[in-house]
Structure 1
């Protein structure tokens, strides 16, 4: 800019025969010449690195490492993310430095965040480099696992050991009955009080038949969590048809599904049960049921990458599940596919819990025709959920009171008279 101004002034002075005007261009020419001789010879670098490998819902952080070139006096940064107002920062040149970046989000999953446009200045902003871009970088935001307790159990506990009381006789804590001592009974199971009361010979004072106390065996449960990723709708109904980006501070149905699946999986894994994960919208190998800390990490990694993928084909039959497993299906139930699959699982003998993940909808940007269409869609959805309950599927809505609803479901009387 200074060189252009110097050439313009010099041209006007020479063309007009005004040496006094031409002399005014000399300082500008000298300034441009000195700036050109002392300009930065190398390009700087800017790299983005997530601060933590495991980001959860709330504040997401990353770090921008700026290394300005030699001779640069300042670096101008413009940080932007989809759904956020861009922020600007001016950083002094010289040595390399790290700049912390953060944003608040209620979304989960993998999102592109933190695009940084930057340029360097030198010689009092006379020399300005061309803009460069770093990022955005993909950041996996994991759902927060809300603590739950009093979880429902499947109709049948197929495991051999665990923390739950099953209906079969074995090693446990709850009394099943008292019967005559037989081969295979442990000596420590002999009930001496019952034996003395029932089998003592009054004439001789000796015991006859011994009686042993039998208990219900303890077992673990098999739980399959199924997430319906076929649609991802937010609170703004006008964005359901597509073409409008969902704001990062709005919760979508998949965010609710991820949160529900994470909380339920963590609750059962803490009880020592075996938990698996499947996706109703993708035909890929599910996470098989297992227990332990590593299983929780596998479920987390799969959950954070659950996302809609094209338009899935209609399944001819429900995905195959382990025998006797408890099925937790997280879906919006905006169509018949998820409900049809849930009824099939219930017909196969599984206990099925349908978790409604549709967020609270907003109709602020709808016209009269769209509001009428929404009422019809929600009416069909309500009838669909009622039909599920009539077929034996237990339905709950994921919200702040879900722990109370799951507790009520866990108190439902199971076949055989046990809770």
Structure 2
């Protein structure tokens, strides 16, 4: 228990109402006294005396302040699949003890509550559920915490609450009005799948990253041995080759460069049913988890990572590096929502002031909308280095088993395969997300195209 300050202003007594018990006690006492007067029987007065005295004794100190209710959520870095903890605190700021306090709270279905209890004495609620009343008593000037513990099943901002409490005092003769507090949203970050891309980036900008570029320069990757020239460092001299050739030679290396990676999330459509961290993954599940994994990998290597949404909102996260950017990316991903719109999405985010010419654009898309394919084709025609990652679930089932539904589903599949083939003909590689190594072969091909000589028209 935690102490609640009693100096706060108490609410008026109008927040309290008589219970049926008080009404029955007053009614019975009145009936007995009236009957004693009309019938002239003293024994009825003696019979009514305990009810009258008991009611008066219970009401000698009437409560004036309503209970205080607060929801506290664990602010730790919670990842889906991890243990969640929340608390519903009910306080008594009055000078009269609460005989009974009934507390009830709603919890998001993506926060699976397994144990609920007051003061650490929890009960297993996996079968009965957490959305049920829990009862306790609260002494004067104290607070009692209803502790919720369980597992976070899916990424997002999930509410704990609203919560409500109602208390009874004066031996159950008075009951407070219902006190309801607003929900508190618990942040659950996506679980990043193990991702590794060892291939060189198509192009790189600064000399501060960890990618072995195709260009010579200061780095740790040996590119060969060449004749000493102006500007070469003396520590690069290869003395064995120099003595054998009787001419100074230096070890040539490839420069380690950073790159800008833009992760573009297609949020025009959602498909599949989400089953949480251990269940089936929908399009948004795969998109968010893949984006978090890609951002974590490239930020760890010192690259600049930016986030974009292809949808009506066109949200954007500016490119940056470091751990702070990674935490910002996770916060940004919590607000990803599928937003369908009949209008053309906002395409000005793909301008040169947003997408640099040397950036690697990783597009996470289910390719459910023709506008997504057109966007990929425009990026490729604009000279961008584009990689399309297919996020559509492989086990996507047809909408029905009767009538023309299976046939229409197969026709839609064939049309989508044709769209993917056309994208590949336009130079847009399309690869299905499969965790580690998903982009290695594609990055190898993109890097080869970037270093190939281009023929310009005279």
Out of 63, 85, 88, the position equivalent to 2:87 is 63
**Are 2:309 and 1:290 aligned?**
no
- How much has 1:335 moved relative to structure 2? 0.7
Cα-to-partner distance string for 1:299-337 (whole Å, 9 max, x where unaligned):
122122222457374145671312221111122221112
Distance 2:413 2:177 in 1: 53
**Are 2:209 and 1:190 aligned?**
no
Out of 255, 266, 287, the position equivalent to 1:228 is 266
Distance 1:234 1:21 in 2: 74
**Are 2:253 and 1:215 aligned?**
yes
Q: Give the equivalent residue in structure 1 for 2:350.
A: 319
CA contact (8 A) 2:193 2:435 kept: no
Matches within 5 A, 1:89-168: 89-94=134-139, 95-168=142-215
Matches within 5 A, 1:250-261: 251-261=281-291
**Are 2:60 and 1:42 aligned?**
no
Distance 2:293 2:135 in 1: 42
Distance 1:139 1:6 in 2: 46
CA contact (8 A) 1:161 1:220 kept: yes
Number of residue pairs matched by the alignment: 400
**Distance verdict in 2 for CA 1:30–1:2, change over 3 Å:** farther
Give structure 2 stretches of 5+ with no counterpart: 1-19, 113-128, 453-458
**Distance verdict in 2 for CA 1:253–1:188, change over 3 Å:** same
Distance 2:315 2:421 in 1: 31
Q: Give the equivalent residue in structure 2 for 1:169.
A: 216
Distance 1:406 1:350 in 2: 17
Q: Give the equivalent residue in structure 2 for 1:75.
A: 101
Distance 2:378 2:447 in 1: 19
CA contact (8 A) 1:236 1:363 kept: no
Q: Give the equivalent residue in structure 1 for 2:308.
A: 278
**Distance verdict in 2 for CA 1:23–1:344, change over 3 Å:** farther
Q: Give the equivalent residue in structure 1 for 2:122.
A: none
**Distance verdict in 2 for CA 1:344–1:8, change over 3 Å:** same
- How much has 1:268 moved relative to structure 2? 0.8
**Distance verdict in 2 for CA 1:232–1:8, change over 3 Å:** farther
CA contact (8 A) 1:273 1:291 kept: yes
**Distance verdict in 2 for CA 1:3–1:180, change over 3 Å:** closer
Distance 1:178 1:197 in 2: 13
Query: CA RMSD for the aligned pairs?
Result: 3.7
TM-score by length of 1: 0.81
Cα-to-partner distance string for 1:82-133 (whole Å, 9 max, x where unaligned):
4374133222211213332234332222233332121112244343322221
CA contact (8 A) 1:148 1:403 kept: yes
CA contact (8 A) 2:203 2:450 kept: no
- How much has 1:292 moved relative to structure 2? 1.2
**Distance verdict in 2 for CA 1:304–1:82, change over 3 Å:** closer
Give structure 1 stretches of 5+ with no counterpart: 201-208, 238-245
Distance 1:224 1:80 in 2: 39
CA contact (8 A) 2:88 2:145 kept: yes
Matches within 5 A, 1:267-416: 267-283=297-313, 286-308=316-338, 311=341, 313-315=343-345, 316=347, 319-320=350-351, 321-359=355-393, 366=400, 368=402, 371-372=405-406, 374-398=409-433, 401-412=434-445, 414-415=447-448
**Distance verdict in 2 for CA 1:88–1:283, change over 3 Å:** closer
> Which secondary structure state, in structure 2, belongs to the residue aligned with residue 261 of structure 1?
helix
Distance 2:60 2:280 in 1: 52
**Distance verdict in 2 for CA 1:410–1:155, change over 3 Å:** closer
Q: Which moved more, 1:298-307 or 1:246-255?
A: 246-255
